[in-house]
Amino acid sequence: MAASSFAEARSGIVAVGRWLDGKGWAPATSGNYSVRLDDGSFAVTVSGRHKGRLTEDDVMRVDVSGASLDGKKPSAETALHLALYRDFPDVGAVLHSHSSNAVGLTRAFPDLTGWTLQGHEMLKALPGNTTHETRVILPIVDNSQDMAVIDAKMSSLLVKPGSAPAYLIRAHGLYGWGKDLAEAERVIEAVEWMIAAELAEIGFRNGSAA
């Protein structure tokens, strides 16, 4: 785990918001990002901000219960970030993207509770993986307006052997995490790329690709 100062976290979150928006993975005001801080609190994005136009004033601090420490309103999904920090003490940053591919995959296969990624060279971008000759499971949980419901479903799936440091919320988006922002970015980018590649493969097999 690499805990950050609030100043470091703010500048990092602003930069990652612009990067994700540039990828088309943060449309409208979607997405939320967080970093574990060295004082035991967490930096999170303020609710309702466009992630491609974040300023440092759009990043706030919350305590371990999600309560605001500076009077601002945190993202509605802050509880999901805190659940990951609770379950995985080595996690230092959590990112949530909203790509059309991630959403489309879960809508196309509504009964699946996980998607297997295997044989991809990009698997080596995930922490601890040194070969493409492996497989990881990307858990899928149903969406809910109650974060406790998502947390309960997600926590039981992520402890299974072979689970990726990421999961999908059906018809919603992707969560990914790492020891710091840089690792969390690699996880998000690698998983998003593999999802896009899998969908392209399905399209070719079905004869529907351009």
Annotated binding site for Zn(2+): 96, 98
Task: Give strand pairing partners of 192.
Answer: none
13: nearest Cα among 39, 42, 43: 43
Q: What H or E segment, with its residue span, contains residue 117?
A: strand 114-118
SS3 content of the chain, % helix, strand, coil (to 5): 40, 20, 40
Q: Read off the tokens for 36.
A: 């574990």
Annotated binding site: 96, 98
Helices (H), 23-164: 78-87, 100-108, 147-158
Rg, Å, the chain Cα set: 16
Q: Which residue has the tokens 């998983």?
A: 191
Is residue 50 within 8 A of residue 14, CB to CB? The reply is no
Q: Any idea of the CA torsion for 198, 200, 203, 204, to the nearest 10 degrees?
A: -110
Helices (H), 65-146: 78-87, 100-108
